[in-house]
Amino acid sequence: MRYLAAFLIFILTLPALAEEVVLGLSKDTVSIDTSFDGSEILIFGAVKREAPIPAEPRLQVIVTVSGPSEEVVVRRKEKRLGIWVNTDAVEVDRAPSFYAVSTSTLLGLSLTDTEDLRHRVSIPRAIRSVGAPDTIEDATKFTDALIRIKSKANQYQLNEGTISIDEQTLFRTAIKLPAALTEGDYKTRIFLTRGGNVISKYETSIYVRKVGLERWLFKLSRENALIYGLMSLAIAISAGWLASAVFRIFRA
């Protein structure tokens, strides 16, 4: 009991966080309609302090924005007898539909590997792949392929050196959201680091939702799949008939 009491007294007498985040967002809701071709979120904030600014190491800021996670099956294709066919497949247990990392300097200088493992900041660490079939020896290549495909579509972003810090107090950055977004909560995290170690963390959310015709079609496909399928078939037939009619007019 004596040791427990001494420990409690030690905890209660610890000082408050020397530095913590006060955050702002240009908007916390993104609406997707038929004309949506992407958006940009401005993330800005300040560092609240209870002590003078340390001279070294310098303050660094990391911002991550993560879309809803989903299971993804990554397949490998091989050419056999002149035909490309699917061979091996690995199921990734959890992969963000969108993931962006912005930093004030190189990520490797902002965060140690230990802190990256603890907070899952980098793109590879944000993806969870528990295991692969025993027959696949190079399972990490499937995760690398997923990152490569998502990065090419601008759905995975590593934006190093894009956060501006003024007087080690005010910071700001802009993150571009692509047109192909999954509806849901986009978890936003801000990390303050010194010497590669996280000294403060702040979390908030950006809500992405479909509106108008996009929302109606999305709900119809989920709640009335048969009607949605018949309507899609009718639209396809009508479009084909219209294209054929236009072709006959110009041909005549």
More confident call, 110 vs 29: 110
Mind listing the pLDDT tens digit for each residue in 168-221? 888 999 888 887 888 888 999 999 999 999 999 999 888 887 644 454 455 545
Give the helix, strand, coil percentages of the chain, each rounded to 5: 30, 40, 30
Instruction: Check whether 11 has a pLDDT greater than 50.
Output: no
Task: Report the number of secondary-structure helices (H) and strands (E) in the chain.
Answer: 7, 12
Q: Given this model, what pLDDT does residue 4 score?
A: 37
Task: Name the CATH code of domain 19-210 (choices 2.60.40.1220, 2.60.40.3880, 3.10.105.10, 3.40.50.280).
Answer: 2.60.40.3880
pLDDT at 110: 94
| Structure-token pair, residue 224 | 């009335």
**DSSP H helical segments within the chain, as ranges?**
2-12, 107-110, 113-119, 123-126, 140-152, 212-223, 225-251
- What are the tens digits of pLDDT across the range 123-158? 999 988 766 555 566 667 878 888 999 999 999 999
The tokens describing 78, both together, are 């091989």
Q: How far is Cα 201 from Cα 190, in angstroms, rounded to an integer?
A: 6
Region label for 199, one of left (φ > 0), alpha (ψ between -120 and 50) or beta (otherwise): alpha
pTM of the model: 0.71
Report how far residue 177's alpha carbon sits from residue 186's, in angstroms, rounded to the nearest whole number.
11
Kindly report, residue by residue over 32-72, the tens digit of the pLDDT: 545 555 678 888 888 888 878 877 889 999 999 999 988 88
